[in-house]
Chain A
Amino acid sequence: MTSLQIVFLVVAAVTLFSAGMVVSARKLMHAALFLVLTLMGVAFMFAMLGSGFFAVIQVLVYIGSIAILIIFAVMLTRNMMDSEAEASNRGWQILAPLSLLIFAGIITILSSWHAFTSVRDLSGTAGEDVVALGKALTDPNGFAIPFELASILLVAALAGAIYVAMERKGGRG
């Protein structure tokens, strides 16, 4: 048991616990805050996997914008929420075993894969080459087209979001 393994286990335990709280917390605001914690844990995992860049991106994009957006949405819709009401629907007693079953299935299938237990020393690696990533994203022979498509998707999502959420004055709004 190396120290790295201990750190991993601790982070994993915290992350999974907070993930559990995200899906089960009675108050949605609490769930949102636990989501932030979970995302932090995932960022930590990214760093441990040797990708400092994506760890930073995770913090910036997920925590910095998505989680904040969700918190905004929670606050905007809060007056409808009954803090005494059930947070989960009635099916959860059946769905919990089902989820465990899926988990077991995934593990079973993965464990039959030859690379499942492969080990690699990541401590000495230099991490990802961000310059190469940037070049690959803009290289016409690389991923320029997916990159452009992604940007179009973002713009479309942005415009669509504004359109959908816009409060219509008069008319059938």
Chain B
Amino acid sequence: MIPLSWYLIFAAGLFVTGIFGVLTRRNVIGVLMGVELMLNAVNINLLAFWSYLYPESISGLVFIAIVFVAAAAETAVGLALIISIYRRRHTVYAEEINLLRG
């Protein structure tokens, strides 16, 4: 018998780890990995809520499916951008990609 709180705490931990990765990784691919962690944490939350609170509702599942789609799209575009930036500027470090500096 696992309480809902365990899943939520686990998901929060995963989420915060993801944030930390996003904020600290120098390599943009690492940043992308952090984003993936955060998305996974969200998915766990969604599934936990569905499973514990609204098992009859189908909407939660649809939500998760859409998140999967969005994650896949995000990864594809993100990696394409990284490859493109790498090709033109020969760098993958986030702090060197600063064309928009004021």
CB atoms of A and B under 8 A apart anywhere in the complex? yes
Interface of chain B: mostly helix, strand, loop or mixed: helix
Distance (Å) between the CB of B76 and the closest chain A CB?
4
| A132 contact set on B, CB distance < 8 A | 58
Nearest A-chain residue to B94, judged by Cβ = A89
Distance (Å) between the CB of A161 and the closest chain B CB?
4
CB–CB A164/B77 < 8 A: yes
| B86 contact set on A, CB distance < 8 A | 76-77, 80
Task: Tell me how many residue pairs across A and B have CB atoms closer than 8 Å.
Answer: 246
Contact-residue bracket for chain A: 35 or more
CB–CB B61/A128 < 8 A: yes
B65 within 8 A of partner (CB): yes
CB–CB B55/A125 < 8 A: yes
0/1 string, B6-29, CB within 8 A of A gives 1: 111110111111111101111101
CB–CB A150/B66 < 8 A: yes
Interface hits, A49-101 → B, CB 8 Å: 49-51, 54, 57-58, 61-62, 65-66, 69-70, 72-74, 76-77, 80-81, 85-89, 91-92, 95-96, 99-100
